[in-house]
């Protein structure tokens, strides 16, 4: 896509999509630069007052230990956005890859993969995470892996039903009659025609992952201190809820704006193109 096309595509978005795009762009920028623009070290105790309100020195006040909320938020966004993006990439690559394999492969393989996914989908995600964290201890790599694996079956289901619908289409039959291999049929003939609905699924799954990561952090199973993602910021400051502290409101607002932004953008982008 050239620059001109991109600008035209953005212009064609409805206003809700533009808002979504702005929010998503904002969070990507924060994730990339947050660590460098943070006014204080995220772990430093900079204020003697806990749950302080907004001030010239601490825009978002201080948290339950007197750390700068803005700085912790800027660094936390990096974990939330980054981990979610990596996890969603792994989940969708695995899910769609296996789905295409199932669709073009022999019937027994399709059965095997589908039943394996059914098994996986029946395990509650938080319990699954709990067991794995208990067994192996919490680490960023494990966390990403758990979250990815949790969302593979859902993506597999959607991608497989899309792919199976395509296998009976004439252009796939033509490719088969030509003698094309399964690899070519799956990646060149089928995948490009699944992109749009898959894209919608990716957005949805990104949001799920943000929420699962935040939920795990809230339970204390996610990122371990002193690192903190947006979810852990909410959890650690939960005692400030009674006094309406910015330390809990700001990270909660951040999670909301990120997920709402992604959804608005994806809705607008997929809606306009479907005939």
Partner 1 sequence: MSLSPHVEVRNLAVTVRGPDGQPLRIIDDVSFDVARGEVLALIGESGSGKTTIALSLMGYGRGGAAISGLIRVGDATLDGAGGASLAAQRGRRITYVAQSAAAAFNPSRRVIDQVIEPALIHRTESAQAARARAIDLFRALGLPGPETIGSRYPHELSGGQLQRLMAAMALITQPDLVIFDEPTTALDVTTQVGVLQAFRRVVRQQGATGVYVSHDLAVVAQMADQILVLNRGRVREQNRVAALLEAPADDYTQLLIAAAHPVVKAQPIPAKPEPLLEIAGISAGYGPIDRAGRPAYPVLSDVSLTIGRGAAVGVIGESGSGKSTVARVVAGLLAPVAGTISLAGETLAPTVSGRTREQLRRVQIVFQNADVALNPAHSVGDILGRVLRFYHDMHGADAQRRVAELLDLIRLPATVAERRCDELSGGQKQRVNLARALAADPDIILCDEVTSALDTVVRGAILDLLADLRRDLGVAYLFISHDIATVKALCDEIVVLYKGTRVESGRRDGYDTPPFHPYTDLLIGSVPELRPGWLADESVQAAAPLAHLAESPDLCRFLPRCPVAMAGRCDVAPPPLREMSAGNMVLCHRTEAELVG
Binding residues for partner 1 (CB under 8 A) = 169-171, 173-174, 176-180, 188-189, 192-193, 195
Nearest C-alpha neighbor of 250 from the set 77, 83, 84? 77
Q: Round to whole Å and give the CA distance between 9 and 2.
A: 11
Report the residue number, 189 or 236, with the smaller CB distance to partner 1.
189
Q: How far is the CB of 166 from partner 1 (least distance, A)?
A: 10
Q: How far is the CB of 8 from partner 1 (least distance, A)?
A: 14
Query: Nearer Cβ to partner 1, position 192 or 225?
Result: 192
d(CA 153, CA 14): 32
Min dist. Cβ of residue 177 to partner 1 (A): 4
CA 234 – CA 34 distance, rounded (Å): 18
**Would you call the peptide bond into 226 cis, given omega within 30 degrees of 0 as the criterion?**
yes
Smallest distance, Å, CB 107 to partner 1?
13
At closest approach, how far in Å is the CB of 182 from partner 1?
Answer: 10
3-class secondary-structure state, position 181? coil
Between 39 and 106, whose beta carbon lies closer to partner 1?
A: 106
The smaller minimum CB distance to partner 1, of residues 29 and 174, is found at 174
Of 244 and 272, the one with the shorter C-beta distance to partner 1 is 272
Contact at 8 Å (CB) between 73 and 54? no
- C-alpha 218/C-alpha 232 separation (Å) is 5
Residue 184 beta carbon to partner 1: minimum distance, rounded to whole angstroms: 8
Which tokens is 103 given? 């669709």
In angstroms, the CA 69 to CA 75 distance is 10
Place of tokens 């990646």: 187
| Residue nearer to partner 1 on the CB measure, 169 or 256 | 169
Give long-range contacts, CB 8 A cutoff, 24+ apart: 167-172.
167/103, 167/104
């Amino acid at each position: 896509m050239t620059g001109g096309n991109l600008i035209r595509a953005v212009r064609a978005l409805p206003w809700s999509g533009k808002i979504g795009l702005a929010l998503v762009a904002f969070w990507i920028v924060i994730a990339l630069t947050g660590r460098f623009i943070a006014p204080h070290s995220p772990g430093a105790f900079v204020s003697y007052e806990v749950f302080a309100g907004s001030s010239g020195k601490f825009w978002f006040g201080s948290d339950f230990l007197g750390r700068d909320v803005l700085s912790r938020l800027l660094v936390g966004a990096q974990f939330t956005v980054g981990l979610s993006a990596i996890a969603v990439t792994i989940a969708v690559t695995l899910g769609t890859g296996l789905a295409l394999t199932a669709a073009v492969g022999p019937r027994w393989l399709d059965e095997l993969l589908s039943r394996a996914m059914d098994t996986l989908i029946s395990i509650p995600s938080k319990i699954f995470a709990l067991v794995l964290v208990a067994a192996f201890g919490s680490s960023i790599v494990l966390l990403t892996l758990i979250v990815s694996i949790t969302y593979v079956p859902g993506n597999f289901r959607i991608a497989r039903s899309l792919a199976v619908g395509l296998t009976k289409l004439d252009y796939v039959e033509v490719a088969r009659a030509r003698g094309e291999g399964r690899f070519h049929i799956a990646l060149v003939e089928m995948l490009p025609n699944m992109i749009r609905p898959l894209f919608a699924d990716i957005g949805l799954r990104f949001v799920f992952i943000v929420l699962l990561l935040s939920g795990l952090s809230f339970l204390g199973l996610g990122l371990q201190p002193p690192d903190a993602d947006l979810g852990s910021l909410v959890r650690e400051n939960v005692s400030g809820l009674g006094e309406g502290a910015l330390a809990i409101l700001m990270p909660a607002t951040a999670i909301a704006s990120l997920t709402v932004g992604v959804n608005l953008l994806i809705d607008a982008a997929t809606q306009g193109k479907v005939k």
